[in-house]
Structure 1
């Protein structure tokens, strides 16, 4: 039986706040998937930047800027490593990002020595938790701003058109003059930066860092993208759908929690959703 308070404004506001973290990660995942790639390292990037940012901030607003610059640099470097492996070493995205993710997770363990330290700066706690005007949290507002920028970039810029071209037909895109390497590198770097930003926001949400902070975000970000209508094989879709997908996946997770489905059951449900959508898109491609 679903709780009668499930549809309350308070709960819906909490759902949007949770969806904002997933939605920001899914910005990068949307770009990557639209090119025909995939990023399985986002969870590890979130965890590493979660641990690093908490330790740098250590409860002080004065250290917040340094923490943000550091984690964005980390995200960009990891994204660049992913993109370089895909472009120059010709390693399949799934294999490359999975391997890099494992390395990054190991770095997080070594850096934290298995016991993360530090606390969120008051400002980042305010952004992640407090409702501005009593309506929505700062994290949701940030998500909406980034989401709008993403939609504009994909729809109205040359880079956005090149992303779609690469995902539709890489050979045709190359003949059309698209810088395949540049576009691919940019999408993975963007995915790394968005994951790093999420890792920092999650410190604000929880108040401290955890070594499992990013655990659910890899599969959930992929699910949000494909549930939102973006083809898992690339070339079709957009971030507007991903916004809806992030909200849907968050609501599903919330419902499963309310009816006391354990974490294993939630992961099975999310995996089945992804598999069904992949099968649907696969059949559509075969028919096409």
Structure 2
């Protein structure tokens, strides 16, 4: 009987890479407080948790795909498409369509994820190429549907509450993010699917030879990532009270950065959701501080790119060591 090969690694919560973004976040806040004391206020920190939730949900789904050794570049327009679907239905005035707005958006994300997974597993096209093409297709469909203008529609009360509501002064968006991350963490740690997913990133051939349907596992991960992207789109539409063109574009690089900064290997098999949570917090605080300092978007992109490269270099050197 063939034994399933499992990657030898420490649990995510004791992995040094997964702790780095939390340390970095604390240092950023403390360092910025000397120049901008308001960063230590409860209102500021609560707002950052709310904003981090959008990125964190995207990073949670992306973590599963990257753990496989793949990447999903269709995040921007999966998010955008789901927001358009949700706001179009929510703004229709029909009670049934309003009630179905969020489920329909999540279904849209699952379908896009399934197409991504099937393209990667059955057609054997590299995930980077396939998902980038899907992103372009979704962009084209959106432009044809809206004529290049901002789509009509508005968010529902539920969407606005998910994005901007509070429970005991805690942002609902943050609670939703933690709920999703906890559910996915349990999926990864307590189920056979989670063990197979991590093992595929470590050694896909060994998992396949053990009798596991690797195509099902990979497609499932892309579907989860698609649903997470769609959920983030729903919440962003609720935050802005509408969908708008290219609302997902600014999130692609930060999503990948949050996952990589959190210690998940871009080659797969190593990392976890705990680190991605820290990565999302770090990116959000860093972006906020750069905004306060009036740093241009161009320089922010450069900073994110440098951070990703530095983290990849750190992972490579540590692996060699």
TM-score band by shorter chain is over 0.9
Q: Which of 40, 48, 58 is equivalent to 1:7? A: 40
Residue 244 of structure 1, CA deviation: 0.7
| Aligned 1:106-255 pairs, distance under 5 A | 106-115=140-149, 116-133=151-168, 135-255=169-289
- Whether the 8 Å contact between 1:59 and 1:120 is mirrored in structure 2 is no
- Identify if the C-alpha distance between structure 1 residues 277 and 212 changes in structure 2 by more than 3 Å, giving closer, same or farther: same
Cα gap change, 1:254 to 1:59, in 2 (>3 Å): farther
TM-score by length of 1: 0.94
Distance 2:179 2:232 in 1: 14
Q: How many residues align?
A: 286
Deviation at 1:171, TM superposition (A): 1.1
Per-residue deviation, 1:60? 5.7
Q: Say if 1:60 and 1:15 are closer, same or farther in 2 by CA, change over 3 A.
A: farther
Aligned to 1:16: 49
Distance across 2 between alignment mates of 1:50 and 1:3: 34
Say whether the 8 Å CA contact 1:34–1:232 is kept in structure 2: yes
Report the RMSD for the aligned CA atoms in angstroms: 1.6
Give the gaps of 5 or more residues in structure 2.
1-31
Q: Deviation at 1:3?
A: 2.6
CA distance 1:60–1:245, change in 2 (3 Å): farther
Offset of residue 130 of structure 1: 2.1
Q: Does structure 1 retain, via aligned residues, the 8 Å contact 2:202–2:270?
A: yes
1:269 aligned partner: 303
Q: TM-score, normalised by structure 2?
A: 0.85
- Alpha-carbon separation, structure 2, partners of 1:119 and 1:60: 10
Q: 8 Å contact 1:128–1:205 — kept in the other structure?
A: yes
- TM-superposed CA distance for 1:283, in Å, is 4.3
The answer as to whether partners of 2:202 and 2:268 remain within 8 angstroms in 1 is: yes
CA distance in 2, matches of 1:14, 1:229: 25
Match of 2:75 among 14, 17, 42: 42
Residue in 1 that maps onto 2:134? 100
Superposition deviation, residue 284 in structure 1: 4.7
Unaligned runs of 5+ in 1: none
